[in-house]
Amino acid sequence: VVDIRALYKQTKAFTFDPGYTSTASCESKITFIDGDEGILLYRGYPIDQLAENSDFLEVAYLLLNGELPSKAERQRFDTSITHHTMVHEQLKNFYSGFRRDAHPMAIMVGVVGALSAFYHDSTDINDPHQRRVAIHRMIAKMPTIAAMAYKYSTGQPFVFPRNDLDFTSNFMRMCFAVPAEEYELNPVLCDALDKIFILHMDHEQNASTSTVRLAGSSGANPFACIAAGIASLWGPAHGGANEAALNMLEEIGSVDRIPEFIARAKDKNDPFRLMGFGHRVYKNYDPRAKVMRKACHEVLDALNVKDEPLLEVAMELERIALEDPYFVEKKLYPNIDFYSGITLRALGFPTDMFTVLFALARTVGWIAQWREMIEDPNQKIGRPRQIYTGAPMRDYLEIEDR
Ligand code: ACO
């Protein structure tokens, strides 16, 4: 790592790094990735151990505070989060202002951005108490807001949060229960979704997290920063890739068509890429994809789905690609998105909700990173430079002379 700040002060020289492939924009204690070895740690703990043994709010506490909570800390944290799960009654008006067929991510950007208009008592970023309240509000309200977006799209009435349930079971219920009808939670499905949320919680300086940090570096309030992160996550190259991977598996349809698609992915004249394969940082098996693959099998078993054709295509595609010199040499392995689409669909979510679920989980990482930045005494406004390639200086021309 070369720290060029001193060089810049002396010479005004700066680096040119489109896509920031080799630029660290900050220091962080939250998440560590070793892309060559396929390692992902949250605060030092391997992601597979956390997914296996922990739960959403415990991992959220860890990301925010640096340590796993004691029993008393965990209880206080849970109480504070559940205290904030409701949203203002007026917030409902935002939903009815959207078309029924609006993309739920469009609704999320709008509603989350609007939270700062409701919570004036937690927008002073210089007050540690207000920061903490804003963080707890964000984590607590995201499931309610996301479930409301889903319910609105189905035309069903909203389901209020139930604070006696754990974080993810409450979310499942808000999505799938119909008021006045019995709804039985399936613990295996809730547990699988909880794992999926943990896998998505943080991933150091990806596009959306960097967006949150950049927006926050100007002093913008946390609700506005998270709305910016949601907007960035929406893109198909980022949060939308799981939907693209599922569409691809559907397009392939059966194992006998896999060689045709592998050939297309290798053809430089064809823009087609294997969706859910390759990663900017991981040049090894994405450790999240391993957990996701297991969760996928657990969900399909719990639902008694036998011979899911998409899973069959996915597993065979993975097997063939991992033996193909093209993918081996370029170190292209399945990423988290490869199996997540099949799993989320089996859980009952429509494809346009996939990125919303990602946003719900990533909110923890975004807000933890936002706070880390705000509390850093060396924090500066984010202000990248550019290489100007436009016209040289020239004189204004009157319209008759152009
Ligand atoms: N299928 C076929 N070839 C690929 C693939 C793929 N999925 N991914 C990369 N390659 C090839 C490229 O064509 C390139 O080949 P070349 O060196 O001969 O030109 C080489 O591998 C390197 O690819 P880059 O695009 O330069 O790698 P980069 O690190 O910029 O891209 C990315 C990473 C965007 C994820 C890429 O692998 C990709 O497009 N994958 C498919 C989309 C996807 O699954 N995205 C989800 C990412 S995870 C997430 O956001 C949560």
- Using alpha carbons, select from 156, 190, 203, 155 the residue that is nearest to residue 362: 203
Angle at 276 between CA 271 and CA 281, to 5 degrees: 95
* pLDDT one-digit tens code per residue, 279-322: 989 999 999 999 999 999 999 999 998 888 898 999 999 999 99
Q: CA angle 226-154-101, nearest 5°?
A: 65
Ligand 1, atom 37, lies closest to the CA of 278
**Residue nearest ligand 1's atom 42 by CA:** 275
| Ligand 1 centroid – CA 239 distance (Å) | 15
ipTM of the complex model? 0.93
* Residue 41 alpha carbon to ligand 1 centre in Å: 23
Q: Give the HSE-up count for residue 116: Cα atoms under 13 Å, Cβ half-sphere.
A: 16
Report the residue among 210, 277, 288, 344 best suited for mutation to probe ligand 1: largest number of ligand atoms under 8 A from its CB.
Answer: 277
pLDDT at 208: 97
Diameter over CA atoms, the chain: 77
Consecutive H or E run containing 33: strand 31-34
In this structure, what is the dihedral angle of CA atoms 16, 21, 23, 27, given to the nearest 10 degrees? 160
pLDDT, position 231: 97
Nearest CA to ligand 1 atom 49: 238
List strand residue ranges (DSSP E) for 191-326, in order.
none
Please identify which of the residues 48, 191, 286, 337 carries the catalytic annotation.
337
Catalytic pick from 136, 279, 286, 352? 279
Of ligand 1's listed atoms, the one at least distance from the Cα of 286 is 48
Active site residue 337: yes
Return the residue whose CA atom lies nearest to atom 20 of ligand 1: 330
**Model confidence over 168-208: pLDDT tens digits?**
999 999 999 998 788 999 999 999 999 999 999 999 999 99
State which ligand 1 atom lies nearest to the alpha carbon of 358: 51
> Is 279 designated active site?
yes
Report which protein residue has its CA nearest ligand 1's atom 25. 280
Pocket residues: Cβ below 6 A from ligand 1: 237-238, 241, 265, 273-280, 330, 332, 335-337
Q: At what angle do helices 337-347 and 354-374 cross, to 10 degrees?
A: 120
Cα(36) to centroid of ligand 1, in Å? Answer: 15
Tokens (6 digits) for 268: 């430089």
The alpha carbon of 335 and the centre of ligand 1 are apart by a number of angstroms equal to 10
Residue whose CA is at the smallest distance from ligand 1 atom 28: 280
Q: Pick the atom of ligand 1 nearest to 245's CA.
A: 44
Measured in angstroms, how far is the CA atom of residue 93 from the centroid of ligand 1?
Answer: 41
Contact status, residue 252 vs residue 258, Cβ threshold 8 Å: yes
Q: In this structure, are residues 47 and 291 in contact, taking their beta carbons and an 8 Å threshold?
A: yes
Q: How far apart are the first and last CA of the chain?
A: 50
173: left (phi over 0), alpha (psi -120 to 50) or beta: alpha
CB 199 within 8 A of CB 47: yes
Name the nearest CA neighbour of 241 among 202, 280, 213, 287: 280
Atom of ligand 1 nearest to the CA of 265: 2
pLDDT (0 to 100) of residue 238: 86
CA distance 174 to 183: 10
For residue 45, how far is its CA from the centre of ligand 1 (angstroms)? 28
Mean pLDDT by 10 residues, the chain (402 residues): 89 92 95 96 98 98 98 98 96 94 95 94 92 97 98 95 97 94 94 97 97 97 97 89 90 95 96 92 93 93 89 93 95 92 94 96 98 95 95 97 96
